[in-house]
Structure 1
Amino acid sequence: MRKALIVGIDHYESLTNLAGCVNDAFAVKAAIERNSDGTLNFASPQVLTGVSSAQCVTKRDLKDAVRQLFADDSEIALFYFAGHGYIEDTGGFLCAGDSSTGDDGLALSEVMQLANTSRARNKVIILDSCHSGAAGNSTMTAGLAELSDGVTILTASTANQNSYETPGGAGVFTSLLVDALNGAAANLVGDITPGSVYAHIDQSLGPWAQRPVFKTNVKTFVSLRKAEPPISLGDLQALTRHFPAPDYNLQLDPSFEPERSSEQEADPSIPAPDPVNTTTFAVLQNYVKVNLVRPVDAPHMWHAAMQGKSCELTVLGQHYWALVDKGLI
């Protein structure tokens, strides 16, 4: 069972209203509800949105929903929040719609208490709010995070930074988060993990922009979503067939390359394309596209084949070769 609580608050009774948090919440819901093949991922995520006085997300609403999220032993309990954040010397807060001073919001320490004591196997907390990097920080020791087993935190900014919006009103962080969940952070088997999401966001933000924060205490990363893999599973599993060893050099010749000039076709010294070899070569070209294979002493695979060169596994290719060899893929 995968549970998700998604909160977006634009309307505040006393604080400045926001513009894009509700849209961000629905964008996250759309991204995680199903995998790319249409299968259910997080079934029926709970969505709380604050859009008006008649639909105000109060602190009581927010705390009750977070408590319910972390109440059982689900495989994943994911909490996403977009709205105002506040910090003072006693810690950080998520501002509910009825917050008036900031420190009357839901304390991050309370969120962490519920997550740290939850029986859920994986607790993922994603916060797009100002000062959200304070989540998980020890109240006693500066620079120390207190996370129980299975807890992961991903935040839009550090404890001392604001979280910014795009000119269209969407959160900069959430826009990158949704991009990552939609496949930009997928590995070669299509899994999108909290670590790969953070890497995508971190690499997309410049050194002078808000800095995302990633904290985790997990033994293995859980997949947040399955995307369309950039290479077929069959081709990936064939790595060990085409390369008997990770340092193997696969010798090529012109019979691997089906495309050639009219002069080359007329040259009797150049072997004609061989159907078995050209089929293999098409797979090798797929490997090159995802940085698993590279030509040796040639600028492109076409040159490697026509010049009788070879190709080899990259470092990434050797990593996936080992995973296939061990039966992990």
Structure 2
Amino acid sequence: MRRALIVGINYYEHGRPLYGCVDDAHAVKAILERHGDGSVNFDCVVYTGTGPTDRVDRGDLKDRVEELFIHDAEVALFYFAGHGHIEASGGYLLACDSRRGDEGISLAEVLTFANASPAKNKVIILDSCHSGIAGTKPGDDNVATVAEGVTVLTASTAQQYATEENGHGVFTTLFVDALHGGAANLTGDVTPGSVYAHIDQSLGAWEQRPVFRTNVKQFVSLRKVQSPISIADLRRLKDFFSSPGDEFPLDPTFEPEMKGRDEGMPDPVPENTRTFAMLQKYNRLNLLVPVGASHMWNAAMESRGCRLTPLGQHYHRLVSKNRI
């Protein structure tokens, strides 16, 4: 079971309205409920606050978060987009009926529910101001209170505001892009760690900074997308490189094109050109680079070679250990 509670609140009875949170919630639901191939991923429940007759009040929000985390599941994911508040007692997520900051659901409560949950993986995604305080002890940002199996990813630090742009939260736009495949690895998995890396690299030093806290032994895949290379082809790394530090020798027989050959150069050999096509695929995925040449074509025509990049060596080790 993979369960997701998705909340987006634009309407605040006693405060300033927001404009992109409800759309963001629906965008997150749309990307989470199916894998890239259309198969079922998360069983999503969406609650939105759009106006006086469509609202998420504090009691309802607290009950729904508790309900999410009380059940055993492979993954229990909570996403919130709306107003956040911080004061000496900690951080809060504000509901439609919140009259003041501390009348929201406290982040300490959310973490308490998650920390006590029997679910194997608990993931909390917060696109709200000051959300970076989540997972820390009130009054001490340096003390984490994240239990094993819990991951927290927030739009901004405890001191920052979460911004909207073009009708959507900047953080959620990047989050959805990451789930679409921008943060996928070569096997097509999108993990919380890769999502954070994608968002972190997309925001500059002067912009809101995402916060990532986790206490897991292994990242869970949040979504599976089409991988840029088949698993069978990825496993062939071992066929060409017996060890990660090896260099694969090339010569003109590997290049299928006749154009550009000097007189006396040997003709292409079909078996070698098939191998070269695979090596070029690895090159396009940054798994290997030519040695002493600017392009793979030059490496072949000049009888040089190619070697694995650090990324290629990483996947070579995974293949060698039967981890792929």
TM-score range normalised by the length of the shorter chain: over 0.9
Q: Are the equivalent residues in 1 in contact too, given 2:80–2:126 (CA < 8 A)?
A: yes
Gaps of at least 5 residues in structure 1 are none
Give the counterpart letter for 2:302 in structure 1: Q
2:156 aligned partner: 157
Helix, strand or coil for the counterpart of 1:287? helix
How far apart are the structure 2 equivalents of 1:156 and 1:144? 19
2:268 is equivalent to residue 270 of structure 1: no
Amino acid at match of 1:74: A
- RMSD of the TM alignment (CA)? 1.1
Q: Unpaired segments of 5 or more residues in structure 2?
A: none
Inter-partner Cα distance in structure 2 for 1:63 and 1:260: 70
Any conservation in 1 of the 2:133–2:141 contact (CA below 8 Å)?
no
After superposing on structure 2, the runs of 4+ consecutive aligned residues of structure 1 that deviate more than 2 Å are 139-142
1:191-242 alpha-carbon deviations (Å, 9 max, x no partner): 1110110001001000000000000000111111111112221111000011
Verify the 8 A CA contact 2:90 2:139 in the aligned structure 1. Answer: no
Q: Deviations over 1:144-178 (max 9, x none)?
A: 11011100000000011000011x11000000000
Identity among equivalent pairs (%)? 58
Structure-to-structure mapping, 1:27-176, within 5 angstroms: 27-43=27-43, 45-139=44-138, 141-166=140-165, 168-176=166-174
DSSP 3-state at the match of 1:143: strand
Aligned length: 324
Q: Is residue 323 of structure 1 aligned with residue 318 of structure 2?
A: yes
Hey, what's the Cα distance between the residues in 2 that align with 1:51 and 1:137?
A: 31
Q: Retained in 1: the 8 A contact 2:258–2:267?
A: no
TM-score (norm 1): 0.96
For the structure 1 residues 288 and 209, does the alpha-carbon distance in structure 2 shift closer, same or farther, using more than 3 Å as the test? same
How far has the Cα of 1:142 moved from its partner?
A: 4.1
TM-score, length of structure 2 as denominator length:
0.98
Aligned to 1:298: 293
Amino acid at match of 1:144: V
Equivalent in the alignment of 1:8: 8
CA deviation vs aligned residue, 1:3-59 (integer Å, no higher than 9, x gap): 00000001111111110000100111111111111111113x000011111001111
Question: Aligned runs of 1:159-198 on 2, under 5 Å?
Answer: 159-166=158-165, 168-198=166-196
Alignment match, 2:206: 208
SS in 2 for 1:159: coil
AA paired with 2:211? V
CA distance, structure 2, for counterparts of residue 298 and residue 277 of structure 1:
19
Change in CA separation of 1:140 and 1:172 when aligned onto 2, cut-off 3 Å: closer
In 2, Cα distance between equivalents of 1:237 and 1:142: 44
